[in-house]
Amino acid sequence: MKKPTVPKGSSKKEDLIPDTSDGTGKLLTTNQGLKINDDQNSLKAGERGATLLEDFILREKITHFDHERIPERIVHARGSGTHGVFQLYKPQSAYTKAGFLNDTNIETPVFVRFSTVAGSRGSTDLARDVRGFSVKFYTQEGIYDLVGNNMPIFFIQDAIKFPDLVHAVKPEPNHEMPQAASAHDTFWDFISLMPESTHMVMWLMSDRAIPRSYRMMEGFGVHTFRLINEEGKSHFVKFHWKPLLGVHSVAWNEAQKISGNDPDFHRRDLWEAIEAGAFPEWELGIQVIPEEDEHKFDFDLLDPTKLVPEELVPVQRIGKMTLNRNPDNFFAETEQVAFHPGHIVPGIDFTNDPLLQGRLFSYTDTQLSRLGGPNFHEIPINRPISPVYNNQRDGHMRQTIDAGRTSYQPNSINGNSPLQAKVSEGGFSSYQERIDAKKIRERSRSFFDHFSQASLFYNSQSEIEKNHLVDAFRFELGKVEIEEIRKRMLGILTQVDAGLAKRVAEGLGLEVPSGPQKPVNHGVPADADQQKYEPVKGKSTLKSSAALSMKDTPKDTIKSRKIAILATDGVNGTELNAYKKALEAAGAMAKIVATHNGHIKDDAGKMLKVDFTFLTTASVLFDAVYVPGGKKSVAALLTEADAIHFVEEAFRHCKAIAANADGVQLLEHSKIPLKDKNAAQNGVLLNKTARDFEEAIKQHRFWEREKPAKIPA
C-alpha cells in the first residue's frame, strides 16, 4: 500500500496556530469580548466601598482565577515538554507497515514530555527518581504515543500492584513527607517484600536516577511491543532512544545542592538549550525479535522487569528525533498533553505483558479526572493532525460542531458515514494472536527469576558506578527508620552480589544476614502455595553487558555545556575573551561569574558584562570552571569565600577546572590538591590552552578523583 507522504514543514505548529492567541498591542477585554476601561478598581458604592455584586468584570476575573488549577498527574506530575520532529533513516517495511516508519520523506511532528515520577508539580528536578520519557508522534495515520522511561525495566510485573507501589513511594499519608524522595520507610518496606523489584531498584540506585540533563538520558519503551508488517507478520520489538550527547549524570551530593540552588535545573537546561539552538537529538533504536524466538531467552519477553541485553539482540538505529521548539504556553501544552500507551497506529501492536495490559486502561481513565471529561482529545496539543470523524458526541467542553442528522451507525440517512476503513485503506486491525487459556489469576513461573538481571546490571558497572550504587543504598536505607526493613533489603542484596550487600551493610552498621539468604516473596495470593511464588535465581547467559554502563558513553562534544568564568575588575581581558570565544565556538555556554553585578572593567579598561554573581549562582549549576589571570581580579577573588568554595565544590564534583597565570593562585588557596603543576591531573588544567580545556570538559567528569579522598566542599 502506498503510504501518504507529508511534505516537510507540514507541522503540528501550523495546526496550533488558529488556537494561539497573542495580546501584544491589543486592547484588554472580558471573555465576552467587551473592552475593559478600568482593570485597577472594582465597582464600589462610593470610593471606600462596599464592592457591588453587579461588578461582572470583577466576578468574571475572580471566578476564572478560582478555577484555573486542574489536578496534577497522579504520577509524573513534575515535567517539561517541548516540540520537535522525527525523521526516519530507512524504511522498516520488513517489520512494520506504520507509515511514519516507512517513508523517509515524512518529517513527523512530535511533542515530548520528560518528568520525574514521585514528586508533585512543584518539586525539584534533581530528585533521585526514574524519569518519564513520553513521545507523542503526530503521524498521518493518527497519534502514536511511546510513553517510556529512562530505565528499560519496571518495579512490578503486574498492573494490579501499581497503586501499591505508588502509595509506597509517595510521601507517607500521615504527614505527607518526604517530598519527591524514595528514601523513606514505606518505599523500602514495599520493595523489601517484593523481590521482583530488585532489578529496578539497582537502576534506581544508579546514577541513571540523577541525570545531568534530560538531553543526556536514554529512553526506553520498557514493554515488549509488536511490529506488524504489510503481510500481517509480527515481530517482537523493544524501543530505545539513544541520546547523541551521550548518557551523563551528576554526583548525588551535587544533585542535592542543585535542588536548593535551582529546583528547575532540568527544565531550565532543556529550555535554554532549545532557545540557544542547541537542539537535543536522539536516535530511535529497535531490538527486533522474530516470533519464533519468543522462548529462546532465559527470561520471559512479557516480563517488564527484564531487559533484552544488546549483546543478544543488537539495537538498530532507524531514525532521529530533534527537539527544536519550546512551547508557547506551559499549561496549554505541557500540562494538558495526554499520553497513552494505547494510542497506536497500524503496524504497531501490544503484547500480553501484564503491566502493559493494565496501562492500556489507566491512561484514558486518568485524563477524565485530570482534564475534566471525555473531550480531552480536542485540546489542541492532543489533537491529531490526521482527520477525526466518528459518532462520539457531546460531553463537557465539546469543541467540534458535528454537522448532520446522524450520530449512529449503521445509518442510511447519511450513506452510513463516517465509513469504516478497510485494512487496505489504513483501517486498524488488531494482531490475531492465538489464545487458548483458562481464566485464572496467576503469574507465570517464567517470571520468577528476580535476581539474575539485577546481578548482570551490577556486574556491568564500572568501579566508580559500583561505588555510587553502594553510596546510594547507604543513603536511602540509612534514611529508613525501621531496622527490620534495612535488614530485609540486605537479604535481597545478597542475592545480587555478596560484596555489594557487605559494603551496604558496613555503611548501615549492620551485619549481612548470615546463612543462605532466600528472600521471601510477600506478594502472594491468600490461598497460594508460597513455594510456587518463591523467587529463583537462574543463570544469566551473560556475565556483563557494556550497554548497561555509562562509562563508555559518547564523550565527544562540549555543545551546550555550561562553563563558569570566575573574574572581577582587573581581569586579563585579552585572555578571558580568547578563551571564552574558543569555548563558545565549540558550542559551550560560557558565563562570567563576578563579585558584583553589572559590568567588570578588565585590565585594559574595557567593560565586560557580568552574567551572575556568587550570590545568584553556584558551581553545581555548571559543568566546568575557568579562572583567568589578572592580578587585581584574582586578589579580589582570594578574599571571596564563595569563589574558593566555587572551585573546591567543582573539584569535589569531579569537573574540569582551568586556571591561568594569577588565576592558579585561587586553586592554590583552596583544598584542591595540586601536586604537579605541569600535569593536567584529573582534569585540573593549569596554564593550558582553551583546546586542552575543551578536551577535558568533553570527559564530563573525572570520577576517579573521588577515590583517594573527597575534599570538603
Binding site residues, ligand HDE, CB under 6 A: 73-76, 79, 113, 115, 132, 134, 147-149, 154, 159, 162, 222, 338-339, 355, 358-359, 362-363, 366
How far, in Å, CA of 18 to CA of 353, rounded?
A: 41
Q: What's the closest the beta carbon of residue 97 comes to ligand HDE, in angstroms?
A: 24
Amino acid at 250: V
448 is in an annotated binding site: no
Q: What's the closest the beta carbon of residue 78 comes to ligand HDE, in angstroms?
A: 10
Q: What's the closest the beta carbon of residue 170 comes to ligand HDE, in angstroms?
A: 12
Q: What's the closest the beta carbon of residue 368 comes to ligand HDE, in angstroms?
A: 11
How far, in Å, CA of 229 to CA of 227, rounded?
A: 7
Q: What's the closest the beta carbon of residue 16 comes to ligand HDE, in angstroms?
A: 18
Q: What's the closest the beta carbon of residue 113 comes to ligand HDE, in angstroms?
A: 4
Per-residue cell: 461? 558497572
Per-residue 3-state assignment (H helix, E strand, C coil) for 206-253:
CHHHCECCHHHCCEECCCCEEEECCCCCEEEEEEEEEECCCCCECCHH
| Collapsed DSSP state (helix, strand, coil) of residue 85 | strand
113 is in an annotated binding site: yes
The strand ranges marked E within 633-673 are 656-659
Angle, helix 463-478 to helix 498-508, in steps of 10 degrees: 40
Q: Which is nearer to ligand HDE, 238 or 700 (CB)?
A: 238
Q: Which is nearer to ligand HDE, 75 or 504 (CB)?
A: 75
- 76: annotated active-site residue: yes
Return phi, psi of residue 393, to 5°.
Answer: -135, 160
Q: Which is nearer to ligand HDE, 84 or 132 (CB)?
A: 132
Per-residue cell: 309? 541485553
Q: Which is nearer to ligand HDE, 165 or 469 (CB)?
A: 165
Q: Which is nearer to ligand HDE, 154 or 252 (CB)?
A: 154
363 is in an annotated binding site: yes
| Catalytic entry in 31, 37, 41, 76 | 76
359 is in an annotated binding site: yes
Return phi, psi of residue 590, to 5°.
Answer: -100, 130
Distances from the Cα of 486 to the Cα of 123, 168, 186, angstroms: 27, 16, 12
| Collapsed DSSP state (helix, strand, coil) of residue 574 | helix
73 is in an annotated binding site: yes
Q: What's the closest the beta carbon of residue 153 comes to ligand HDE, in angstroms?
A: 9
Phi-psi region of 285 (alpha: psi -120 to 50; beta: other; left: phi over 0): beta
* CB neighbours of residue 602 within 10 Å: 24
**Vertex 606: Cα angle to 603 and 611 (nearest 5):** 100
CB-side neighbour CA atoms (13 Å) of 553: 23
| Catalytic entry in 83, 102, 149, 682 | 149
398: CB partners within 8 A, 6+ apart? 375, 378
CB 3 within 8 A of CB 99: yes
- 669: annotated active-site residue: no
Give the DSSP letter of residue 310.
Answer: T
503 is in an annotated binding site: no
Can you spell out the DSSP letters for 131-173?
EEEEEEEEETTEEEEEEEESSSS-S-SSGGGHHHHHHHHSSPT
Torsion 311-355-183-334 (CA) sign = positive
Give the DSSP letter of residue 36.
Answer: P
CB-based closest residue to ligand HDE: 132
Q: Which is nearer to ligand HDE, 130 or 485 (CB)?
A: 130
Give the DSSP letter of residue 17.
Answer: G
End-to-end CA distance of the chain: 64
Which residues belong to the annotated binding site for heme?
A: 73, 113, 162, 359, 363, 370
Which residues belong to the annotated binding site?
A: 73, 113, 162, 359, 363, 370
Residues identified as active-site: 76, 149
